Structure 1
Amino acid sequence: MGRILVTGASGNVGKYVAEYVLKNEQQVTVAGVHTKVLQDMFGEDPNARIVHFDFTDSKTYAEALQDVETVFIMRPPHLGNPADLYPFIDALKDSGHIKLVSFLSLIGIEHNPVPPHYKIEKYIEKSNVPYCHIRPSFFMQNISGVHAFEIKHFNNIVVPVKKALTSFIDAEDIGEITAKVLCEPEKHQNNAYSITGGQAIDYYEVAMILSEILGRKIQYSNPSPRLAKEYWLTIRGLDKEYATVMEMLYMMTRLGTAKKVTTTFHDVMGKNPRTFKEFAHKNIKAWE
């Protein structure tokens, strides 16, 4: 088969998509704006081609799509306008030889038109390019990434969802299943896969697991949405658009949209996804 294009290949999910595509002995084009980082990550693999790519610069499309038959789309967090991705989707349609495009979306997005992922999914479907949307639940990496600061320095989790349940999934599991989809495009065309961990837990249990593994008391502060956003903006200094998207996603969680547990990962991969406890043991340095 032709090459597999992975956009956002230095990110949480994209790097695992590319790694597992290479483990499947397929040729991959790893694309992004930080080509030096990509060179450090994939430069030694003869099956990896590294290209500069920017969704907002159509001049970067041709090189990225050279010899490509399947595509992984990761929306950069700073591109909050769905239309920023439309020209690239149009280019996929115009190429005439794309067997599958797999867009990293959100679980439950089919019922929520507010986040940009909804309109991007619909635009892909209308393009008539074969697709397989990847709709994961919340990444475990959110706890070791954007929320690690409070855990590490204040032994606190600042997430405004009360006792709502979340079926956390490891980004590595998302990358592995996405790579399999991209390597077997005919088997997965015109589907949408909701991918979760094997159980749904609340943030009080997250705090309990972290307390056990770290050997110190971690608390879940359960702030109001208003206070959480104010903290993200004024104390953490997070980008306003990023904080607004995060606010919307956690509002969805409060409404119960993140508690769904699916068997999709096991159905496709033939094994169980990682548990949060397994993830925490593996990533303990993020909070020490």
Structure 2
Amino acid sequence: MKVVVTGSTGFVGGLVAQKLAAEGVPLALLVRSANRAPALPDAQVFETAGYSDLEANVAALNGAKVAFMVSGAESEDRLRQHKQFVDASAQAGVEHLVYLSFQSAARDATFTLARTHWETEEYIKASGMKFTFLRDSFYIDFLANLAGEDGLIRGPAGEGHVAAVTRADAAEVATRVLLNPGAHENQTYTLTGPESLSMNEIARIVGEETGQSISFYNESIDEAYASRKAWDAPDWQYDAWVSTYTAIAQGELAEVTSSVLDITGRAPTSLREFLKSTPR
């Protein structure tokens, strides 16, 4: 059974492709640049112009019953691109779409990009294809790099908690689902780490494991927007950056689930475990 994998030049998609190839699964890898695609056995590489490239995507998806859809790069028109890829999947005869979504995706989610994830999920449901939604939390991998050069993690997260998950755990779940999609038809899983941590706790753990002096400064909303103006970006991007923290403050990312354990058979990696295993 051929499986289509998008995002194979990135971390999660690339790891999923490697794991599936190791299991002997024939793959179709959809990439923007063929020379960046991983060299894997029994894998066809299809170069397309992205999710909006309907004709090329239909050709790549043809003959596949299952596809893994990594969410597109953050952009103002990401939802439109997602919908075009869903259309291509349905047109090509894909029966089951596994979509990498986001924790607490909802129409009115505080994190602005989680709204796009919810709309994508709804569009996939309306397509008639079977689906599996993997709603991962924020990635533990990035928590170690939140602090600025002054050692401060800044953001309006208050006393809120986040149940962050590693990218490797998210990839392992996706792989298990793609190896046995029938067992996960029309299911939504929230993928989290083993614990829910406040930003103060994150700062303390990162400091202890890296030997750096790290602390958390709870910015006001105005301060958060002002500090991020150091980077030239469109307004929607500023909204997304700030709302990553306000979503935590609202408690929308605090839930800890057993999905990683249930699907992979092993407990998810904690922030401290990740830091201990990461070369510095």
TM, length-normalised to structure 2 = 0.90
5+ residue gaps, structure 1: none
2:151 counterpart of 1:155? yes
In percent, how many aligned pairs have the same letter? 22
Aligned CA distance change for structure 1 residues 109 and 19 (closer, same or farther; 3 Å): same
Residue 87 of structure 1, aligned match among 84, 89, 111? 84
Q: What SS is found at the alignment partner of 1:105?
A: strand
Mean Cα deviation higher: 117-126 or 71-80 = 71-80
Please name the residue that 1:26 is paired with: 25
Mean Cα deviation higher: 244-253 or 155-164 = 244-253
Please name the residue that 1:203 is paired with: 199
Please name the residue that 1:52 is paired with: 47
**Alignment-mate amino acid for residue 266 of structure 1:** L
8 Å contact kept, 2:3–2:65: yes
Aligned CA distance change for structure 1 residues 243 and 15 (closer, same or farther; 3 Å): farther
Map 1:102-113 onto structure 2 (within 5 A).
102-110=98-106, 112=108
**Alignment-mate amino acid for residue 84 of structure 1:** Q
8 Å contact kept, 1:103–1:134: yes
Q: 2:107 & 2:58 partners in 1: Cα distance?
A: 34
Could you list the per-position Cα deviations for residues 103-129 of structure 1 after superposition, in whole angstroms to 9, with x for gaps in the alignment?
111111146366211111000001110
8 Å contact kept, 2:7–2:70: yes
For residue 260 of structure 1, report the CA deviation from its aligned partner: 0.2
Map 1:30-41 onto structure 2 (within 5 A).
30-38=29-37
Q: 2:24 & 2:156 partners in 1: Cα distance?
A: 43
2:8 counterpart of 1:9? yes
Q: 1:252 & 1:226 partners in 2: Cα distance?
A: 16
Q: What SS is found at the alignment partner of 1:85?
A: helix
For residue 142 of structure 1, report the CA deviation from its aligned partner: 2.7
For residue 238 of structure 1, report the CA deviation from its aligned partner: 4.8
8 Å contact kept, 1:34–1:52: yes
Could you list the per-position Cα deviations for residues 78-110 of structure 1 after superposition, in whole angstroms to 9, with x for gaps in the alignment?
3333222222212222223x2310111111114
Please name the residue that 1:268 is paired with: 263
Q: 2:21 & 2:58 partners in 1: Cα distance?
A: 22
2:122 counterpart of 1:127? no
Q: What SS is found at the alignment partner of 1:260?
A: coil
Q: What SS is found at the alignment partner of 1:221?
A: strand
For residue 143 of structure 1, report the CA deviation from its aligned partner: 2.0
8 Å contact kept, 1:210–1:280: yes
Could you list the per-position Cα deviations for residues 201-224 of structure 1 after superposition, in whole angstroms to 9, with x for gaps in the alignment?
111111111111111211112222
Aligned CA distance change for structure 1 residues 231 and 48 (closer, same or farther; 3 Å): farther
2:252 counterpart of 1:257? yes
Q: 2:22 & 2:153 partners in 1: Cα distance?
A: 36
Map 1:117-266 onto structure 2 (within 5 A).
117-144=117-144, 147=146, 150=148, 153-232=149-228, 234-238=229-233, 240-266=235-261
Q: 2:150 & 2:25 partners in 1: Cα distance?
A: 44
8 Å contact kept, 1:107–1:136: yes
Q: What SS is found at the alignment partner of 1:235?
A: coil
For residue 174 of structure 1, report the CA deviation from its aligned partner: 0.3
Q: What SS is found at the alignment partner of 2:157?
A: coil
Mean Cα deviation higher: 123-132 or 133-142 = 133-142
Mean Cα deviation higher: 205-214 or 107-116 = 107-116
Q: 1:224 & 1:177 partners in 2: Cα distance?
A: 36
8 Å contact kept, 2:68–2:97: yes
For residue 6 of structure 1, report the CA deviation from its aligned partner: 1.5
Aligned CA distance change for structure 1 residues 31 and 219 (closer, same or farther; 3 Å): same
Aligned CA distance change for structure 1 residues 99 and 59 (closer, same or farther; 3 Å): closer
Bigger proportion of residues as strand = 2
Q: What SS is found at the alignment partner of 1:274?
A: coil
Q: 1:19 & 1:229 partners in 2: Cα distance?
A: 39
Aligned CA distance change for structure 1 residues 52 and 244 (closer, same or farther; 3 Å): farther
